[in-house]
Amino acid sequence: MTLAKLQLTLTPTNSLITTDTVRFGDLMPTITSPIQDLPVGVTETISINLLDFFTSDEILNVLFSGGGLIPMKYQDDSIVSFAQLDLSNDPRSSVPEPGLTVGLVALGVVNTLTRLRRKSR
């Protein structure tokens, strides 16, 4: 996994409460930054890179153990009006297609046979 971005649109409502946190499943730690730095009464969208807090395996385990649903817990005074989780895997790091692998092996075999023929002449 190369991307695990959580976007939240939040509106903090009380300047006396500065202990806002979000929790991803039952994983620790709870996330506090940049949530606790938001101004009161202003709606803002923030992005949190979950890979800064959790491993890919931890994130996928939460996803699969919930049958594709992820329990999120937000606490304290902010109104959460939007939440989105983007997960991605960089295609450059993925496993090659089986057809490509077979094609490369076939080219290697042809190259080896060509060299053997040249040596035998």
Which range marks the domain in which residue 54 is found?
Answer: 3-91
Say yes or no to pLDDT of 113 above 70. no
Interval 2-9 mean pLDDT: 90
Note whether residue 19 is domain-resident.
yes
Note whether residue 43 is domain-resident.
yes
Note whether residue 117 is domain-resident.
no
Note whether residue 56 is domain-resident.
yes
Q: pLDDT at position 116, please?
A: 61
Q: pLDDT at position 121, please?
A: 62
H or E element at residue 113? helix 98-120
Q: What sign results for the dihedral spanned by CA atoms 30, 33, 34, 36? A: positive
Note whether residue 113 is domain-resident.
no
Note whether residue 103 is domain-resident.
no
Structural domains in the chain (count): 1
The two structure tokens encoding residue 112:
């080896």
Summarised one tens digit per residue, pLDDT across range 88-100 is 987 664 444 555 4
Mean pLDDT, the chain, rounded, equals 79
- What's the whole-model pTM score? 0.66
Note whether residue 108 is domain-resident.
no
